[in-house]
């Protein structure tokens, strides 16, 4: 359910599968094969394995946070909060936090998703279809928007009626996919707003993540083609759009104003060359075409783009933006052009903006309302 999508996003950002991530975080005291067997249900971990997992995870986390220059107080607070996460969605949400950049509404929503998934998993294990449906209908934070189908414009009540009449799990697959899709957009919109208020403090409230959604080349005149063109520039993947936005952010930080247009790829390549990242520079076009772009590579690109600043003056890479691009990739892009199995969906931009506007109303009211700056975001990035 929700955690499966979060797992794929995490694997994309790390550049390796979960079994490899777990093995690495136990200093290879557990092999990838062992972890794969657990995940596949072929074997189960014994108490000694669980101890290794817990100890290895704690040691890895301590080392990782130290490398980020977190104070002992901040590391202890993070560990305590991690212990309260009920599942993988909230663990992933917490992983985007830093001492100065916290996203509490995003984390609360992720925790709600974990708890709902656990509840529904119990119903599924008991083959209780009616109980599963009732749990969804009784969840107080699920509203009409969560069960609305944006493609067919089917309203929530029609979906609820379909759920009440379900007699098989197959009949619940579509309502479940709607839940997963809509809650992911709600998560993104929530993070978008908190990221803008806390990381991009100078800027007016802006749906920054909207500029990372996949699209076709806006210069294409599709009406003039008998067959759909398959040129290299046809598909603007979320990774490409991320690199373009971040490049503009770096230029704006150096020149104290937005560039007139997205810089050419040659400029981005030169930044990497100047930073001694020749291999990254040679692979830049592949990442722009959809090749997996990891958090480590993203940080290197960000550092190269800010080469004009002293290291201690460079803010951390805006990892929330890579997360958003990874989510959009998982939702809308499957396969690859290179392997000739690309499925590339261009979403209606209004769907995400509707969620952003909804969350804006929620998060800018009440005693903990978000506060924003007034500097306009760059035009043409939306």
pLDDT at 364: 97
The tally of domains found in the chain comes to 2
State the number of CA atoms in the 13 A half-sphere of 184 facing the CB.
Answer: 25
Place of tokens 């100890």: 55
b/e burial code for range 209-226 (CB count within 10 A of at least 16 → b): bbbbbbbeeeeeeeeeee
Domain around 278: 214-220+231-346
Q: How far apart are CA 142 and CA 137, in angstroms?
A: 8
Report the predicted TM-score, pTM, of the whole model to 2 decimal places.
0.94
User: Residue 73 above 80 pLDDT?
Assistant: yes
Q: Is residue 327 part of a domain?
A: yes
Q: Is residue 269 part of a domain?
A: yes
Q: What is the mean pLDDT of the chain?
A: 92
Q: What is the DSSP letter of 220?
A: -
279-320 pLDDT, tens digit per residue, is: 889 999 999 999 999 999 999 999 999 988 998 899 999 999
Q: How far apart are CA 253 and CA 258, in angstroms?
A: 8
User: Residue 339 above 80 pLDDT?
Assistant: no
CA distances from 73 to 21, 55, 335 (A): 26, 20, 44
pLDDT at 47: 87
Q: Is residue 62 part of a domain?
A: yes
Question: Which of these ranges, 52-66, 100-114, 333-347, 355-369, has the smallest mean pLDDT?
Answer: 333-347
Q: Is residue 321 part of a domain?
A: yes
Q: Is residue 146 part of a domain?
A: no
* Domain end position, chosen among 83, 111, 139: 83
9-43 pLDDT, tens digit per residue, is: 999 999 999 999 988 888 888 899 988 988 888 89
pLDDT at 142: 97
Q: How far apart are CA 275 and CA 207, in angstroms?
A: 31
Q: Is residue 332 part of a domain?
A: yes
Return phi, psi of residue 129, to 5°.
-65, -45
* Domain end position, chosen among 52, 83, 114: 83
Question: Which of these ranges, 160-169, 204-213, 335-344, has the smallest mean pLDDT?
Answer: 335-344
CA distances from 371 to 8, 153, 203, 205 (A): 32, 33, 10, 9
| Contact between residue 50 and residue 59 where contact means Cβ atoms under 8 Å apart | no
The percent of residues in the chain predicted with pLDDT above 90, rounded, is 74
pLDDT at 146: 97
Q: Is residue 203 part of a domain?
A: no
Q: Is residue 356 part of a domain?
A: no
* Domain end position, chosen among 83, 102, 127: 83
């Amino acid at each position: 359910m929700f955690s499966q999508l979060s797992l794929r996003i995490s694997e994309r950002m790390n550049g390796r599968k979960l079994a490899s991530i777990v093995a690495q975080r136990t200093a290879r005291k557990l092999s990838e094969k062992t972890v794969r067997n657990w995940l596949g249900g072929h074997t189960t971990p014994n108490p000694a394995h669980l101890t290794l997992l817990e100890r290895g995870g704690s040691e890895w986390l301590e080392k990782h946070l130290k490398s980020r220059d977190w104070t002992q107080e901040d590391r202890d607070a993070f560990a305590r909060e991690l212990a309260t996460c009920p599942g993988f969605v909230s663990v992933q949400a917490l992983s985007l936090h830093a001492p100065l950049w916290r996203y509490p509404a995003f984390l609360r929503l992720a925790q709600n998703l974990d708890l709902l998934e656990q509840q529904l998993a119990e119903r599924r294990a008991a083959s209780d279809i009616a109980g599963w449906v009732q749990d969804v209908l009784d969840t107080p934070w699920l509203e009409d928007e969560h069960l609305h189908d944006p493609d067919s414009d089917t309203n929530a009540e029609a979906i609820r009626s379909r759920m009440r009449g379900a007699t098989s799990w197959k009949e619940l697959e579509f309502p479940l996919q709607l839940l997963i899709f809509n809650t992911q957009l709600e998560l993104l919109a929530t993070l978008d707003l908190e990221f803008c208020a806390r990381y991009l403090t100078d800027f007016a409230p802006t749906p920054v993540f909207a500029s990372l959604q996949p699209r076709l080349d806006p210069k294409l005149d599709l009406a003039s083609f008998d067959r759909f063109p398959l040129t290299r520039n046809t598909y603007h993947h979320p990774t490409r759009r991320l690199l373009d936005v971040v490049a503009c952010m770096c230029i704006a930080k150096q020149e104290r104003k937005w560039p007139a247009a997205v810089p050419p790829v040659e400029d981005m390549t030169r930044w990497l060359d100047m930073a001694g990242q020749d291999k990254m520079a040679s692979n830049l076009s592949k990442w722009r075409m959809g090749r997996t772009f990891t958090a480590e590579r993203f940080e290197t690109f960000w550092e190269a783009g800010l080469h004009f600043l002293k290291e201690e003056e460079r803010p951390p890479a805006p990892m929330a933006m890579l997360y958003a691009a990874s989510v959009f990739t998982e939702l809308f892009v499957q396969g690859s052009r290179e392997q000739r199995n690309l499925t590339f969906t261009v979403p209606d931009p209004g769907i995400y903006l509707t969620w952003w506007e909804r969350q804006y109303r929620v998060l800018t009211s009440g005693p903990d309302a978000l506060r924003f700056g007034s500097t306009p975001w760059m035009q043409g990035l939306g």
